[in-house]
Structure 1
Amino acid sequence: MATSGIIDTPKASTFNTVATTSNTSTTSSSDIGADQDKFMKLLITQLKNQDPLNPMDNAAMTSQLAQLSTVTGINKVNATLESLRTDQASAQSMNAVSLIGKGVLVAGKGVELSTSTDAAGVKTSSSVFGVDLASPAETVDISIMDKTGKVVRTMSMKNVDVGTYPITWDGTTDDKTAAEAGSYTFSVKAVSTGKTLTDATQLQLAAVASVSTGAAGVKLNTSLGHFTMAEIKEVL
């Protein structure tokens, strides 16, 4: 969902985007061939030095050849899985880079209210936050509070299905006055069949400044900290 004129995205002087470089350590066909050569040399040596009066039976030889085939097959499967893992990591890095400069919703209870003035000198306020519901709710009540903990604005949604819901606030309070620009917090109470749900998650807007990769995987570096791709609930 694209939101225009709402997200106040901080601009970094330099985006330290780390491009993904894959050092794939897969088992090559030459390695598999070398293993086969070693096995066959050992088998031939065993046959040459066997007891003529008690030679290896066909069942034993077939069993060893079957083991070779099994090991070779496992090596090929491992190589394929490693290749798929590398391709997936590369694709995830490319997707993450495309998020630089955009706003994302992550777990958090903060609300940043910003103001802007148009050419006519009219001031407008706006903010974006969100709610993630893991269970459907009959009612979802949202309370926005100032730094003192005083509730300045309440919102409500009815018959809400499972999903992520971005919410905008124009800075208007419950008494129809304009709230001052700055930092606020909010709480969510989702109710179904008279019971308060415990799987409703508050979502805060964060601006993606850069992307980094490492042993822990791809990380989005935002104005609120570092997040994995799995922690991003929605891109705005």
Structure 2
Amino acid sequence: MPVDAIGGVLNAQNTNASSSSSINQDEFIRLFLTQLQFQDPLEPVDNREFLSQLAQFTALEQSRQTSQNTTDLLSMNATSQAVSLLNRRVEVNAGGTPFIGTVTAVNFSSSGAQLTVTPTTGTVRTGIRLSQVTLVTP
């Protein structure tokens, strides 16, 4: 997951897309019960093996949840940083030409926060990313 220099999350994962390509807990339990139901009664699978599979799935689910929580935390942090720049004078290096202006708006999209900066020259610049801000003054 790419992260902007100041903390904006870029291309955050879509939880709907990730859940459709992986197995969830209900599906795992259903598969587990089907496996128990159709096992060979003359050669049953060891109970420890089933418990091991369940423990592995639980650990995997907890890891996925931790990853999602970290992504959400990074997104909230980037949002907070962008909003805190409203009405602040900033120096921006966009396209190799630095300029100074005041942040007048913040736009949120799937690619992260984008600032609208009004330079001292009067021309409004939009689509400024947090990583392009080089200096913030009160």
TM-score, normalized by length of structure 1? 0.40
Decide whether the 8 Å contact of 1:208 with 1:221 is kept in 2: yes
Judging changes above 3 Å, is the alpha-carbon distance between structure 1 residues 88 and 101 closer, same or farther for their aligned structure 2 residues? same
Which ranges of structure 2 fall in alignment gaps of 5 or more residues? Answer: 1-13, 119-124
Aligned mates of 1:231, 1:35 — CA distance in 2: 45
Whether 1:232 and 2:133 are equivalent positions in the alignment is yes
Decide whether the 8 Å contact of 2:114 with 2:126 is kept in 1: no
Shift of 1:94: 1.8
Decide whether the 8 Å contact of 2:94 with 2:128 is kept in 1: no
Aligned mates of 1:99, 1:38 — CA distance in 2: 50
Aligned mates of 1:41, 1:71 — CA distance in 2: 14
Equivalent of residue 41 in structure 1, options 30, 33, 46:
33
Shift of 1:96: 0.8
Aligned mates of 2:38, 2:62 — CA distance in 1: 27
- 1:80 maps to 66
Judging changes above 3 Å, is the alpha-carbon distance between structure 1 residues 219 and 57 closer, same or farther for their aligned structure 2 residues? same
Name the structure with the higher helix share: 2
Paired residue secondary structure (2:38): helix
Aligned mates of 1:57, 1:78 — CA distance in 2: 28
Paired residue secondary structure (1:203): strand
Judging changes above 3 Å, is the alpha-carbon distance between structure 1 residues 108 and 77 closer, same or farther for their aligned structure 2 residues? closer
Number of aligned pairs?
112
Shift of 1:221: 1.4
After superposition, residues 1-236 of structure 1 pair within 5 angstroms as 25=15, 32=25, 34-47=26-39, 50=40, 52=42, 55-58=43-46, 62-108=48-94, 203-223=98-118, 224-236=125-137
Q: Deviations over 1:85-120 (max 9, x none)?
A: 1122122112211211111111159xxxxxxxxxxx
Paired residue secondary structure (2:57): helix
Decide whether the 8 Å contact of 1:39 with 1:68 is kept in 2: no
Segments ≥4 residues shifted beyond 6 Å: none
Shift of 1:216: 1.0
Q: Deviations over 1:48-70 (max 9, x none)?
A: xx152xx1453xx5445433322
TM-score, normalized by length of structure 2? 0.65
